[in-house]
Chain A
């Protein structure tokens, strides 16, 4: 949370010669970060980030307290002034005329309640010094009494509230959890229907007059005609304040403070400051006794840290005097022995609970910048990288080298795209709080995202060659998804051979033969021009209806592969075979084949006809003629013409027998 701290206001609480630049630099290094120094109407205002664990520092005096502990470490004298914790409580005890006011509250929701009644209040404008200060912290002036409550909140980090006493029916104030569906209209005129459990105050007529800790009720607010005022300073259960504020999406400065847990010990000093200011600026007289309901007063707890651990974290030995000095400047009581530091933190530092919290205080004030920087000098663990990570990188590199460009599309897709590829909506992981209809389902396939990338770029480039290697999310009932490393490669045009070549090269990389199948891929592909690759994936030309639906004007050919499955079935690839001693012979054999004869089984058959056949490749395919390039080689002798003739005859007869193919002259 960021707060604004005017320099002049800060110096009410901090006696120092530090310049704004020094304040910024040194506080940022050791404490709250001053992110910017703004100049507003000639006044310097610091924009300070306070972390959520330090509500005690979310105020002008809170920042001053940090500065008083930090600046002396840089040789700049600094003293905290007007510390509210040293405030003398001087409420008068008189015989007040009995004003009927019955207060009921519960400790769990409201650890401390303080209130007092003023009469003869004169509502009017605030003095210029107050208006100016509030303006510098971005608060609009309303009237003297309300401005005082805002002043208290910014100066001390403790919100305060005022009611017009005469609007509280029958003088009854009952603090309780709200019932579900109850309504309250807040100062800003908004009516909220409460989710239930919210901290509210009900008056004698059953009206809700306060949405506690968030915003006061409209009905009981101060108006120009108000003369009797109830000043009210409290603390609340932080978790409930946060819950209500989040549920109603009603975020106020007060809620931002209360939800972080405020110090009940600060309530009385701030209450006293409020009384003094109201008397001074609104001319009121106190007409009631002070009510202070505080059934479980704060009890200090101590925390122990081993000195060896402190030194180990900081990397240098901290002397007793130094530890003493740092911690007492932060308001802690300490007892330091040879081995231990026993710390009793002040009431406002409830974030100090463990030894590491003490270490943090010591280390940051000692100075993170002074801690010696060194690389670890212990042995690294013997851990092996998961093979998938290296393989993914290798495949990406190969595709890049083959001329393909990598895309990173979003993992989330729309309902339309999910429907396009016919996946079951119920068996797809769905975001329940999406920010756009385009990003709702966690994709079970990369195909639609790639098609969108093609569509988007098709007018910029004729010959697109794209790929992506990302996770797909497979459904598992009552479980998180199976995240599968998946590759998709896409080219513009009818490029079956090109895409199949990529598949063949990648299968070779894993030492896996391309599955012997002739089944087509799924319905996103053209049935007659696609191929299923067993458990590994599929390839082919995209179905024309799918393309048409997306408005892609040209054919697209794609390959989808599960890299996880390829890796799972990877065979050891690199092994040495002796370099052949005898030369190889080659020849091209052209066969005339019957219609619709698959060529892959023919090639596979030729391979197995004789051990002397070392290799078969498809040299040419034209109409009904398939020309094979056959390599003959023996590891024991030079092949003679007769030997080759014998093998060739075997090929010819087998081709005839199994495929009805005849050798072309």
Chain B
């Protein structure tokens, strides 16, 4: 607050008005911010010894023609100060009230509606997102397909022992088969690899595809349901190495399971890849040393491999220029391995019990 200097000698009109306005500003500011009581503030700013009264008394030395004007300013300033005091009084009253009125802050809040996306949806979104960052684009191919795509196109003639692994559901032909060789039988796709040759048939190279879809096999037990989901990656480019496959899988594993996890590949056999691999991921508990949960330090994640030249040829890809890799894993299994959530029976996922669904 500025100190206002007053003198008994006559004072110029303009100066007096300026002093009054400055006082008004100071007073209103001080009253609003002060923690003193309203009565004390009133005494300070409008009381007997207040600056306001001192300035008001200097009216005496003002010329009569200026009196009217200064009188109006004086009234205005007084009103402002009084109104500031009144506001202060109101606030003080409210504060007093609210302390007196008991309010229960432990009462639960009003939550927005809370639905639940299925864990398969959540897993698909997460998987898609990770592969997107590596330039893979999600695609969709048929779930109910000509048997050529999931079998013969993948270098797997029907009687081949390798096709035993897939307990395939067959579909009654809707009419009668025509002459087209590839369109003789219809199956529920037992894996998402039918998307490989279908993707190549689009004729666009290079390929970075991620195909996530429902699959079907004639199995039901603690780790199998007749319907489940797979995600299938296909990468076709020039000079693709086994190291690239390892790089992509490692990137996925670190982002999906956590930065401290590593993957390894071991020899395996699939008809549609050569070489073929089994992918392991280090156990999240013991990090590869071996513990009660994993026994060996590694958990089996799924299959992968370098795309077989016959598969590329079936998709019309020039194998002298291009090669590639592919992988296909179960969404549910991958999610269950991530969550460490005691979710030990895959059938629960398709049980649709609301008490289960609401936990995710």
- A373-B264 Cα distance, complex, nearest whole Å: 10
- In the assembled complex, which residues on chain A have CB atoms less than 8 Å from the CB atom of B266? 28-29, 33, 368
Which residue of the partner chain, among B117, B120, B186, B244, contacts A480 with CB atoms under 8 Å? B186
Residues of B within 8 A of A407 (CB): 118, 352, 357
**With a CB–CB cut-off of 8 A, which chain B residues contact A442?**
144, 171, 188
Contacts of A315 in B (CB 8 A): 241-243
Contact with B along A220-263 (1 / 0, CB 8 A): 00000000000000000001001100000000000000011000
Measured CB to CB, the closest approach of chain B to A405, in angstroms, equals: 4
**B352 & A409 in contact (Cβ 8 Å cutoff):** yes
B308 touches A399 (CB 8 A): no
In the complex, the answer to whether A481 meets B116 with C-beta atoms within 8 Å is no
Query: Across the two chains, which residue of chain B brings its CB closest to A380?
Result: B135
Contacts of A539 on B, CB cut-off 8 Å? none
Expressed in whole angstroms, the minimum distance between the Cβ of A390 and any Cβ of chain B is 9
Q: Which of A384, A410, A466 contacts B226 (CB 8 A)?
A: A410
Instruction: Give the nearest-CB partner of A388 in chain B.
Output: B140
Segment 201-251 of B: residues with Cβ below 8 Å from A: 204-208, 214, 216, 218-220, 226-227, 235, 237-244, 246-248, 250-251
Q: Mark A401-427, 1 if CB is under 8 A from B, else 0.
A: 111111111111000000000000001
Q: Is B96 an interface residue (CB 8 A)?
A: no
Chain A residues within an 8 Å CB radius of B120: 408
Smallest beta-carbon distance A209→chain B, Å: 27
Instruction: Tell me, in angstroms, the Cα distance from A31 to B277 when the chains sit together.
Output: 11
Q: Known interface pairs A381-B208, A405-B357, A456-B352. Does A360 touch B140 (Cβ–Cβ under 8 Å)?
A: no
Q: Does B302 contact A (CB under 8 A)?
A: no
Q: What is the minimal beta-carbon distance from B42 to any residue of chain A, in angstroms?
A: 43
**In the assembled complex, A294 has its CB within 8 A of some CB on chain B:** no
Contacting residues, chain A, for B244 (C-beta < 8 A): 374-376
Once A363-B242, A368-B277, A480-B142 are accepted as A-B contacts, the answer to whether A464 and B354 lie under 8 Å apart by CB is yes
Q: Kindly state the separation between the CA atoms of A296 and B358 in the bound complex, as whole angstroms.
A: 67
Q: Please, which residues of chain B bring their CB within 8 A of the CB of A381?
A: 135, 137, 204-208
* Among A173-181, A319-327, A470-478, A550-558, the stretch in contact with B: A470-478
CA distance A301 to B137 in the complex (A): 42
Q: Count the B residues whose beta carbon is within 8 Å of the partner chain — how many?
A: 87
A314 to B177: give the CA distance in the assembly, Å.
Answer: 45
Inter-chain residue pair count (beta carbon < 8 A): 237
In the bound complex, do residue B242 and residue A368 qualify as a contact, i.e. CB atoms below 8 Å apart?
A: yes
Partner of B274, one of A354, A411, A427, A430: A354
Instruction: Give A445-487 as 1s and 0s: 1 = Cβ < 8 Å from B's Cβ atoms.
Output: 0000000010011001100111000010101111111010000
Enumerate chain B residues within 8 angstroms of A369, measured Cβ to Cβ.
264-265
Contact B247 A373 (CB under 8 A): yes
A54 to B206, CA, bound (A): 33
Chain A residue nearest in CB terms to B205: A381
- A536 adjacent to chain B (CB < 8 Å): no
Tell me if B's interface is mostly helix, strand, loop or mixed. Answer: mixed
Contact among A259, A359, A397, A460 with B275 in the assembled complex (CB-CB below 8 Å): A359
Could you tell me if A478 and B116 are in contact, using CB atoms closer than 8 angstroms?
no
- Of B207, B243, B269, B308, the residue contacting A54 (CB under 8 A) is B269
Tell me the bound Cα distance from A434 to B121 in angstroms. Answer: 27
B176 within 8 A of A: yes
- For residue A313, CB closer than 8 A to chain B, the reply is yes
**Is B138 in contact with chain A by the CB < 8 A criterion?**
yes
Q: Mark B67-92, 1 if CB is under 8 A from A, else 0.
A: 00000000000000000000000000
Q: Is the CB of A376 within 8 A of B137?
A: no
Contact B354 A461 (CB under 8 A): yes
B301 to chain A, nearest CB (A): 14
| Residue A393, interface by CB 8 Å | yes
Contact with A along B84-114 (1 / 0, CB 8 A): 0000000000000000000000000000111
* Residues in chain B within 8 A of chain A (CB atoms): 112-118, 120-121, 125, 128, 134-140, 142-146, 159, 161-162, 169-178, 186, 188, 204-208, 214, 216, 218-220, 226-227, 235, 237-244, 246-248, 250-251, 264-269, 274-278, 306, 308-309, 323, 349-350, 352-355, 357-358
Chain A residues in the interface with B (C-beta under 8 A): 28-33, 51-54, 239, 242-243, 259-260, 312-315, 354, 356-357, 359-360, 363-364, 368-369, 371-376, 378, 380-381, 383-386, 388-389, 393, 396-397, 399-412, 427, 429-436, 439, 442, 453, 456-457, 460-461, 464-466, 471, 473, 475-481, 483
Q: Top 9 closest A-B pairs, CB basis?
A: A380-B135, A403-B113, A51-B269, A360-B275, A315-B243, A400-B115, A478-B175, A315-B241, A406-B118
